Amino acid sequence: MGAVRIKVTLSGKRREQVTALVDTGATFTVVPAALAARIGIKPLRSVPVQLADGSHHRFPASTAFVRVDGRESPATVLIAPGGEVLLGVETLESLGLTVDPKRRLLKATHPFVIKAARFRQ
């Protein structure tokens, strides 16, 4: 599958539209520290992560709103020292989107619901 890049709007105290690489191998969305500072996303905690090369690190984490094609959702974002914006699977799922690898774009998906058991009173 080739790279899928899309326009997203990230919001903290301010908002900015950027191009993001859709990364189905990443759990969380990742934003560079300079972008986080520009839009007012401040670290709330630190999260341990394993990178694709197998190395282990801790990244500052926060919450931001992510908007794609008229869909908006809060998302956990990791703040990286540099690099590009990566749109992770947790964010895709919260937006109700999935990757169409043949067409190299995002498409709407059906949310999965857990069937709740009935409780007798």
54: CATH? 2.40.70.10
Measured from the Cβ of residue 34, the count of other Cβ atoms closer than 10 Å reads 10
34 in any annotated domain: yes
The residue type found at 1 is: M
The CA distance from 100 to 104, in Å, is 6
Look up the domain containing 70 and give its range.
5-108
Q: What are phi and psi of 102, to 5 degrees?
A: -70, -45
Averaged over 29-56, what is the pLDDT?
A: 95
97 in any annotated domain: yes
115 in any annotated domain: no
46 in any annotated domain: yes
Number of domains in the chain: 1
114 in any annotated domain: no
Tell me the per-residue pLDDT of 63-121, one tens digit each, with 9 for 90 and over: 999 999 999 999 999 999 999 999 999 999 999 998 888 888 888 886 655 555 555 55
pTM of the model: 0.85
